[in-house]
A and B are shown apart, each in its own frame.
With several copies, the nearest count.
Chain A
Amino acid sequence: MPRAPTPIVPLAEAVERFVADGSRVALEGFTHLIPFAAGHEIIRQRKRDLTLVRMTPDLIYDQMIGTGCANALVFSWGGNPGVGSLHRLRDAVEHGWPTPLRLHEHSHAEMANAYVAGASGLPMAVLRSPAGADHAGKGARLGTVTCPFTGEVLAAVPAIRVDTTILHAQQADRRGNVQLWGISGVQKEAALCAEKVVVTVEEIVDRLEPKPGGVVLPSWVVTAVAAVPRGATPSYAQGYYERDNAFYEAWDEVARDRQGFVDWMEKHVLGTRDFAGYLRSVAGGEAAARG
């Protein structure tokens, strides 16, 4: 209980120590602050048999699924926003490539509530969810509870709890307190439903200045911090850089084809030592866009 201060470590060390093969891992961030650098490091370290949890899998899980890190996915909307399909996710589901993927599928409302329940130490969340829709085969357990006051039957969804949550934030201070701001999605709930919390940040600062819309995670709920500038690219970090919409649009072509995807991942992710190397690799790749 005399707590050790939160370690500030290289990302590779954080992933090695706190992401175990076969564990349940959430990398959250609703379009904003998606922890791409951490996802790449998981790919580089060839973690296997992960259960990946995330409302919107986005390109980062497309990459992790396509490189065989995961055997299960808990999610609520699995597309490339505004562009189309996540081809690697589809290939895993439709053809079991590179490895079969079990799905546990929710609506956004169910999943957001399930995260809240996990953060609140409850075994379940209660919500008004429509009856009559298909659930067969979706892999997500649903139940009901009856309100003891009104007799109404309400939907129940099991709480989400994970082994490790990884977030990207704008800033941490030297003691490991973290602040993120802008669209904050379910990041707080994802952090507070996890055994271990790893946060990559744009920068380490002397003092966190409270920001409008700021979400603060005190150091004592943060397991480790790693400084990774531009670590959410091609997602964005409000106040630091914009979303790389062109990358999202171009990804559709890269991921459509297995070999093209493998070559791209080999060259830019597996073939680089760290995220700075990745950024240099893709920046140099504008002409050689197809890998």
Chain B
Amino acid sequence: MAVTASRLLEDGAVCFVGIGLPSKAANLARATHAPNLVLIYEAGPIGAKPTVLPLSIGDGELAETADAVVSTPEIFRYWLQGGRIDVGFLGAAQIDRFANLNTTVIGPYEHPSVRLPGAGGAPEIAAHAKEVLIILPQSERTFVDRLDFVTTVGYLGGGDARARGGFPGRGPTAVVTDLGLLRPHPETKELVLVALHPGVTVEQAKAQTGWPLRVSESLRATADPEPREIAALRRLERPAPVPPSRGAP
């Protein structure tokens, strides 16, 4: 999943990354084919070059390796809203067929069965980045017919709904999952399965999607991870050289 996502990032792009899978994929890209990828984290680091994956979005490693560290308001005002981000890279708990995202609640807002973390940077990243990549595991619980809450707008109801909404960025261009890769249809903006990971079947993908999944006529298989990608991932995931917790809970 991280490997497929990392390949979508062009060298030299300016990428606004969330922690977790997006950060992992972006740093993998930087360690392999895209050494000039510019990583921006919402806490303030611009041009961060971590050598191990940060656990949190404000880890010291990010600040110490960055070209610049600015305030959080500046990140959102001058850099994101200012139109300087090429790629916004998001995760989510739920996605619908038009790549709208839910990270707020499962169940009704006032009485949720699961309270999720909330919006974070996602709504404005999805609005302003020139394009948006989304990465999340695919299942009937995550790929749903109807979101419990629309936290972040993808293509709204599809078609030209987003374009009419006056969003500066053009919206999600790819969704990477543990099963494969989906792209929005150029006209309808509905997500279409365009590639499957080795060993995954179309039936499996359809079964793990909460709406009738459309499949591209030119469906292809994603390439296996290359040795250098696997090696880079191992290096990124090695334990950070810090002492163990002094205050074990």
Direct contact between the two chains A and B in their complex (CB within 8 A): yes
List residues of chain A with CB under 8 Å of any chain B CB: 1-3, 30-32, 55, 75-79, 81-83, 85-86, 89-90, 93-94, 105-109, 112-113, 115-116, 119-122, 127-134, 136-138, 152, 177, 182-186, 188-189, 192, 213, 216, 218, 220-221, 233-234, 236, 238, 242-251, 253-254, 264, 279, 282-283, 285-286, 289
Contacts A89-B115, A105-B118, A121-B168; A30 near B126 (Cβ below 8 A): no
List residues of chain B with CB under 8 Å of any chain A CB: 10-14, 19-20, 36, 38, 42-47, 54-60, 62-64, 67-69, 71-73, 75-78, 80-84, 86, 104, 109-124, 126-128, 149-153, 156, 161, 165-168, 240, 242-249
| Contact present for A78 and B117 (CB under 8 Å) | yes
Specify which chain A residues have a CB less than 8 angstroms from the CB of B59 in the assembled complex: 31, 243
Contacts A30-B44, A130-B124, A251-B249; A216 near B56 (Cβ below 8 A): no
Q: Roughly how many angstroms separate A32 CA and B59 CA in the complex, as a whole number?
A: 7
Specify which chain A residues have a CB less than 8 angstroms from the CB of B249 in the assembled complex: 247, 250-251, 253-254, 264, 282, 285, 289
Specify which chain A residues have a CB less than 8 angstroms from the CB of B113 in the assembled complex: 94
Contacts A32-B58, A121-B82, A192-B78; A244 near B245 (Cβ below 8 A): yes
CB distance from A264 to the nearest CB of B (A): 6
Number of A-B contacts (CB under 8 A): 254
| Contact present for B72 and A112 (CB under 8 Å) | yes
Partner among A77, A81, A120 whose Cβ is within 8 Å of the Cβ of B55 = A81
Q: Roughly how many angstroms separate A62 CA and B243 CA in the complex, as a whole number?
A: 25
Q: Roughly how many angstroms separate A160 CA and B152 CA in the complex, as a whole number?
A: 23
| Contact present for B12 and A121 (CB under 8 Å) | no
Q: Roughly how many angstroms separate A125 CA and B59 CA in the complex, as a whole number?
A: 29
The chain B residue with its CB closest to the CB of A278 is: B247
Specify which chain B residues have a CB less than 8 angstroms from the CB of A119 in the assembled complex: 77-78, 82
Partner among A115, A131, A182, A285 whose Cβ is within 8 Å of the Cβ of B63 = A182
CB distance from A229 to the nearest CB of B (A): 13
Q: Roughly how many angstroms separate A247 CA and B247 CA in the complex, as a whole number?
A: 6
| Contact present for A136 and B115 (CB under 8 Å) | no
| Contact present for A233 and B123 (CB under 8 Å) | no
| Contact present for B73 and A134 (CB under 8 Å) | no
Specify which chain A residues have a CB less than 8 angstroms from the CB of B167 in the assembled complex: 130
| Contact present for B248 and A1 (CB under 8 Å) | no
